Structure 1
């Protein structure tokens, strides 16, 4: 039935496929329904809670109601863990991975759970708790099936999954479509009011997605037949440079007085190798700049960052033509 729906075959074509299968399958009992119409009706009434998208009105702009479509974060994670290959391969603890190369023992950092960060965060957990590392990634794309319109899908994966498994399609789950406001005319598009509305809508979508883990609650999932207690953390957000600036709510580099992604260095001092003090662009530094009215000097927008309420939010890794840059959230 999935193939019939995907290629939009007529009921008669679908019935012909069913007849052909039943004739040559040599099965005593056919696994297919009696007709295409019956199958479509079955799919329409079948409800799988963890697969369903929620709808939340976010903003009305120029007589257009913008609705955020998303899946509940916890249920999306559960849908990944229900896949047997993921459930069986999920790594629960830090591993000190080493290899001998050219006669020298070397530390390996090929997986998240090999990192010093993982070891440090794991040491702060209570007995019986395990880290569950969340990986978010997004990019604006063209949605052909929606009439060449632009969409902003966001996907979720887990850092506990080994790389070879995480690169498979089933290890990634669509979690929502971040909203993109559209201006009816160029004057509106270039206005500060419109840009502010865009930023607020973007952060509102993120806040809605991340709301279940703001307080850092214990969550319990079934792993290999046992109930495991997890503490969720967002370790990586993968995006291009433009997307990263949206997540961190900072100015675009072309119009920023402090274009460095990680440190509060002025444009004039980017090549100054004699700097003695460099302030990192941490959440506390950004909050202080906004509260003291220095947001413009620090090249940060005054709107609240959705990640500031989350216990575990240290950095974003940005992939820009193979170049990885660390961003503080």
Structure 2
């Protein structure tokens, strides 16, 4: 076991060494008022300032040997700065439990802040009463500070700023309420009813797909890493497929567009995710990115947008979950959600859309080029059986189960699944032999996008 100092993050193997170190590590106080503030911080962490950590024996020995030198060499130059206060408060946040808030609303706010924190500063300060007000709320949200910590920062600022009128909110609670009432493009999620199952109504929380595209295209350096046309790349006489705009699909899709139009390749990511350690709460996010962006740039957080949270149907027991009625309802809910999300693309299928890229208006035709998911979800997208024991288990092709692992299989022996041959097998009542689960919306969407 070891003891953690809340000021400098050092660990000590004995309580006595920790107490001696704490006398040196505590920042010096110049006046009684500053002492009161430090005592207030220490009082908040008093019950939790000692963190019991299980460590390896070698780490304990290392701490024992270094304790004396750490105490003797401790510098008295560590003044209490605002950044140090932030570090202390962050430790408090890690120890204390957050207030019980709606888990879905928290994730919506956190996901937008994470997507924008790395590359560009969110342009939200203009909607705040002052720039300092916005900076404070951005700091509290980004570092997930609790209300007590935020209020301590406000008190510290107001005391030393010597301003007639403080630009900050009276409390963090007031600031959070102000944020809840703000109308920000990146935080406007619509709530749409998808279906009713077992007297429970299920909703889709989603953004506008077009707004998500515009948000990505508005990033300052995206145009520098954005491919507008197909590019044939060869290396040592062989074709190299390194980016989406070097693929055969891009070449064929580009040929189908009117003269002067550009292809806008869209990528969807989706996967159901646990949002608590016990696995009892789940969300099903679906993200959007643009395939025209170079791979290395597209892998950064700000090059993706949270498009929606898909509804997750609940069953009363395991028997209901395994029933065919429940499985059909799950597929229906999933594809109704997709139909709503992709509806803007269907409307643009004829005339395309004009979008700004690097202050230039470009005529785009958006097309879904790739969907990234795990195997069960891919089967849900393609309306195929999820079991690996079915005759044709692959959601992408019609290779039989016995030949799926054949390394010598020729390309001519692989028949891809398309909405054309799947519709044909359905009409011939061959759904089971070809591991096909029918849902009519699926065929309508596929027919429009191919």
Shorter chain as denominator, the TM-score bin is 0.7 to 0.9
Q: Which moved more, 1:68-77 or 1:268-277?
A: 268-277
SS for the counterpart of 1:184 is: coil
Distance 1:21 1:247, change over 3 A: same
**Which residue is 1:320 aligned to?**
none
**Which residue is 2:324 aligned to?**
192
Q: Tell me how far apart the structure 2 counterparts of residues 286 and 274 of structure 1 sit (CA, whole Å).
A: 22
Q: Tell me how far apart the structure 1 counterparts of residues 179 and 436 of structure 2 sit (CA, whole Å).
A: 48
Structure 2 residue 259 is matched with structure 1 residue 259: no
Q: Which runs of 5+ in 1 are unaligned?
A: 315-329
SS for the counterpart of 2:440 is: coil
Distance 1:230 1:274, change over 3 A: closer
Q: Aligned ranges for residues 1-329 of structure 1 at < 5 Å? A: 1-5=137-141, 7-10=144-147, 13-18=149-154, 20=156, 33-37=168-172, 39-99=175-235, 104-144=236-276, 148-215=280-347, 216=349, 217-267=351-401, 270=404, 279-306=415-442, 308-310=444-446, 313=449
Q: CA deviation at 1:132?
A: 0.6
SS for the counterpart of 2:391 is: coil
Distance 1:187 1:106, change over 3 A: closer
Confirm or deny: 8 A CA contact 1:143 1:151 kept in the other structure: yes
**Which residue is 2:87 aligned to?**
none
Confirm or deny: 8 A CA contact 1:59 1:201 kept in the other structure: yes
The structure carrying a bigger strand percent of its residues is 1
Larger radius of gyration: 2
Q: CA deviation at 1:298?
A: 1.6
> After superposition, what is the alpha-carbon deviation per residue over 1:116-145, rounded to whole angstroms, capped at 9, x for unaligned?
221222122222211110010111111139
Confirm or deny: 8 A CA contact 1:68 1:177 kept in the other structure: yes
Q: Tell me how far apart the structure 1 counterparts of residues 388 and 278 of structure 2 sit (CA, whole Å).
A: 32
SS for the counterpart of 2:361 is: strand
Q: Tell me how far apart the structure 2 counterparts of residues 311 and 273 of structure 1 sit (CA, whole Å).
A: 29
Q: Tell me how far apart the structure 2 counterparts of residues 283 and 310 of structure 1 sit (CA, whole Å).
A: 6
Q: Tell me how far apart the structure 1 counterparts of residues 138 and 260 of structure 2 sit (CA, whole Å).
A: 41
Confirm or deny: 8 A CA contact 1:214 1:310 kept in the other structure: no
Q: Which runs of 5+ in 2 are unaligned?
A: 1-136
SS for the counterpart of 2:140 is: helix
> After superposition, what is the alpha-carbon deviation per residue over 1:46-98, rounded to whole angstroms, capped at 9, x for unaligned?
21235311111112222322111111111111111122122443221222334
Confirm or deny: 8 A CA contact 1:157 1:166 kept in the other structure: yes
Q: Tell me how far apart the structure 2 counterparts of residues 275 and 171 of structure 1 sit (CA, whole Å).
A: 35
> After superposition, what is the alpha-carbon deviation per residue over 1:231-278, rounded to whole angstroms, capped at 9, x for unaligned?
001111111111110100101133422223333244456569699865
Distance 1:275 1:14, change over 3 A: closer
Q: Tell me how far apart the structure 1 counterparts of residues 310 and 398 of structure 2 sit (CA, whole Å).
A: 29
Confirm or deny: 8 A CA contact 1:62 1:184 kept in the other structure: no
Q: CA deviation at 1:20?
A: 4.3
Q: Tell me how far apart the structure 2 counterparts of residues 110 and 287 of structure 1 sit (CA, whole Å).
A: 33
Confirm or deny: 8 A CA contact 1:248 1:305 kept in the other structure: no
**Which residue is 1:319 aligned to?**
none
> After superposition, what is the alpha-carbon deviation per residue over 1:20-59, rounded to whole angstroms, capped at 9, x for unaligned?
4578899x9x996354455334322221235311111112
TM-score by length of 2: 0.61
Confirm or deny: 8 A CA contact 2:423 2:443 kept in the other structure: no
Confirm or deny: 8 A CA contact 2:191 2:203 kept in the other structure: yes
What is the Cα-based RMSD across aligned positions, in Å? 3.2
Q: CA deviation at 1:311?
A: 6.0
Q: List 4+ stretches of structure 1 deviating above 6 A.
A: 22-26, 272-277
